Amino acid sequence: GQSLEQPSEVTAVEGAIVQINCTYQTSGFYGLSWYQQHDGGAPTFLSYNALDGLEETGRFSSFLSRSDSYGYLLLQELQMKDSASYFCAVRDIASNYQLIWGAGTKLIIKP
Amino acid sequence: DTEVTQTPKHLVMGMTNKKSLKCEQHMGHRAMYWYKQKAKKPPELMFVYSYEKLSINESVPSRFSPECPNSSLLNLHLHALQPEDSALYLCASSQESTGDTEAFFGQGTRLTVV
């Protein structure tokens, strides 16, 4: 079967760095995506990794290790507006390349 | 224009009502999606349209009926819903329905069935 695991909640301090991990189990991995969703809002695409390594976009970076079936989202210089839920999602050949979503990580940022 | 527009934003309907949710995108995307999201849960895929044809139906009950009138529009017709169908309904679009394509989401319709 297909499954993703990520922590349900992470707390960090404004200005700090936080890492949200995601491990996955799929039969035909195609790529790992990260989405941000504020309360009451829509999911917003953050990053996509198809190959091993680090992808950097401003304060956000995403890492993938296909051999470990593991990825993470790194958020630097945390701001209060980064308080949101973060979902990892994989595309899997067995699911017709459709996104399979993790349960989401609620990021709480304290001043 | 990188927006997916959904209407209405909120909808309250009775179990005997018929209503429709609407979604529009003008990014030239060939894939459009309906998702259902319950509170504190990830989005749950319902339907995928690719090039205006229904390509995936995730075993959704027939009281939900999708329609894709053209490449920019996606509707979801609702009939005889149950209270447990109350949720946030999200429309999304992407360049293609497969591959490394970013999905753009609308703000959703918050549906309450009474």
The confidence score (pLDDT) of residue A19 equals 98
Cβ separation A42–B48 shorter than 8 A: no
Task: Please report which helix (H) or strand (E) contains residue B20, including its range.
Answer: strand B18-25
Structure tokens at B87: 């949720």
Q: What is the mean pLDDT of chain A?
A: 94
Cβ separation A45–B103 shorter than 8 A: yes
Structure tokens at B36: 């259902």
Q: Which amino acid is it at A87?
A: F
Nearest to B43 among A33, A41, A43 (CB): A43
Please determine, for residue A8, whether its predicted confidence score (pLDDT) is greater than 70: yes
Instruction: Mark out chain B residues that contact chain A at CB-CB < 8 A.
Output: 40-45, 48, 55-56, 90, 97-100, 102-108
What's the mean pLDDT in A51-76?
96
Please determine, for residue B99, whether its predicted confidence score (pLDDT) is greater than 70: no
Cβ separation B56–A98 shorter than 8 A: yes
Q: For A26-45, write each residue's pLDDT tens digit.
A: 888 888 999 999 999 999 99
Residue B8 preceded by cis peptide, ω within 30: yes
Please determine, for residue B107, whether its predicted confidence score (pLDDT) is greater than 80: yes
Is B52 or A92 the better-scoring residue by pLDDT? B52
pLDDT bracket for residue A92 (50, 70, 90): confident
Cβ separation A43–B90 shorter than 8 A: yes
Share of chain B above pLDDT 70, in %: 96
State the number of CA atoms in the 13 A half-sphere of B110 facing the CB.
8
Structure tokens at B33: 């999606």
pLDDT bracket for residue B97 (50, 70, 90): confident
Cβ separation B48–A98 shorter than 8 A: yes
What's the mean pLDDT in B71-88?
97
Q: For B34-59, write each residue's pLDDT tens digit.
A: 999 999 999 999 999 999 999 999 99
Question: Which residues of chain B are within 8 Å of residue A104 when distances are taken between CB atoms?
Answer: 40-42
- One-character DSSP codes across B34-49: EEEE-TTS--EEEEEE
pLDDT bracket for residue B7 (50, 70, 90): very high
Cβ separation A48–B45 shorter than 8 A: no
Please determine, for residue B1, whether its predicted confidence score (pLDDT) is greater than 70: no
Q: What is the largest CA-CA distance in chain A?
A: 43
The confidence score (pLDDT) of residue B51 equals 94
Please determine, for residue A89, whether its predicted confidence score (pLDDT) is greater than 90: yes
Nearest to B42 among A41, A50, A87 (CB): A87
Cβ separation B97–A97 shorter than 8 A: yes
The confidence score (pLDDT) of residue A97 equals 81
pLDDT bracket for residue A68 (50, 70, 90): very high
Structure tokens at B112: 């309450």
Nearest to A48 among B56, B97, B102 (CB): B102
Question: Which residues of chain A are within 8 Å of residue B48 when distances are taken between CB atoms?
Answer: 96, 98
The confidence score (pLDDT) of residue A94 equals 80
